[in-house]
């Protein structure tokens, strides 16, 4: 086992390989979101990971926060950094509602919280108005596998009329063909309010590998009466199996 901290590999921690495996699998699921943030960083110079003092400059309570950070504009990360920790205390920035990524529990911003944790926990919180692109098909090799099932996590805030945007970026990930227009930028616009709408505007010539899109909407304050796709109502399924077997529905 390495003891001088020059090399750290998962196989060096045999008692934790299950935790490490799940973390790596989740990182692969985050690939569409992370790749889009890399494109944003390349074109706009914005960091993929942002300290809270940069992301929330009007909230003085985050000025001395050093271990929490934002991944993009939507995902708040509070890593467990203390050995043997059973609880994690953190402050959620004001001006937003926040949702536990794993349980969808709602939290008010501008307050400090403490939650139970163990070695396998990675506390993540989704900002209201968030648009987070995930892969529903589990990948293990980005050189040979692609996203076929796109999972869009959207956090609505029905308490106000708000609009948020996220640009999903795709290319072949290998060649320089994107310089000749072989890319696809999909601007996703989420409009919150009494009626929630999601709009997709595409730019570029790249043929996406995505075959299915799942819209996973956090909206604690309301339940949908109907769902329209391009002005046509789509079928509503009560039975989950029937929904999974359908091409389109909710």
H helices, E strands: number in the chain: 4, 16
Residue 3 pLDDT greater than 60, yes or no:
yes
Instruction: List % helix, strand, coil for the chain (3-state, nearest 5).
Output: 20, 30, 50
pLDDT tens digits for range 69-99: 999 999 999 999 898 999 999 999 999 999 9
**Residue 1 pLDDT class (50, 70, 90 cuts):** low
Q: Is the pLDDT of residue 234 over 60?
A: yes
Q: Would the pLDDT of 8 be above 60?
A: yes
pLDDT digits (tens, 9 = 90+) for 17-34: 999 999 999 999 999 999
**pLDDT averaged over every residue in the chain:** 92
Under 8 Å between Cβ of 111 and 98: no
Q: At what angle do helices 17-29 and 31-44 cross, to 10 degrees?
A: 60
Q: What are phi and psi of 59, to 5 degrees?
A: -105, 105
Can you tell me the distance from the alpha carbon of 45 to that of 82, in angstroms, rounded to the nearest whole number?
A: 32
């Amino acid at each position: 086992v390495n003891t001088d901290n020059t090399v750290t590999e998962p196989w060096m921690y045999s008692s934790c390989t299950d935790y490490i495996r799940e973390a790596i699998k989740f990182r692969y699921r985050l690939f569409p979101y992370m790749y889009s943030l890399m494109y944003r960083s390349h074109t706009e110079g914005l960091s993929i990971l942002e300290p809270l003092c940069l992301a929330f400059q009007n909230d003085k309570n985050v000025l001395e926060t050093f271990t929490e950070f934002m991944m993009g504009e939507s995902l708040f990360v509070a890593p467990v950094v203390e050995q043997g920790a059973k609880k994690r205390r953190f402050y959620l920035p004001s001006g937003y509602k926040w949702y536990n990524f794993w349980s969808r529990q709602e939290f008010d911003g501008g307050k400090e919280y403490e939650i139970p944790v163990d070695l396998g926990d990675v506390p993540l919180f989704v900002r209201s108005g968030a648009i987070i692109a995930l892969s529903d098909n589990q990948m293990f090799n980005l050189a040979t596998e692609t996203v076929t099932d796109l999972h869009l996590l959207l956090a609505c805030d029905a308490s106000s009329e708000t609009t948020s945007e996220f640009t999903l970026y795709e290319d072949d990930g290998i060649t320089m063909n994107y310089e000749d227009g072989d890319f696809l930028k999909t601007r996703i616009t989420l409009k919150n309010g009494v009626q929630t709408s999601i709009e997709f505007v595409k730019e570029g010539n790249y043929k996406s590998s995505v075959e299915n899109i799942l819209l996973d909407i956090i909206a604690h304050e309301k339940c949908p009466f109907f769902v329209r796709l391009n002005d046509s109502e789509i079928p509503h399924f009560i039975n989950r199996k029937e929904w999974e077997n359908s091409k389109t529905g909710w």
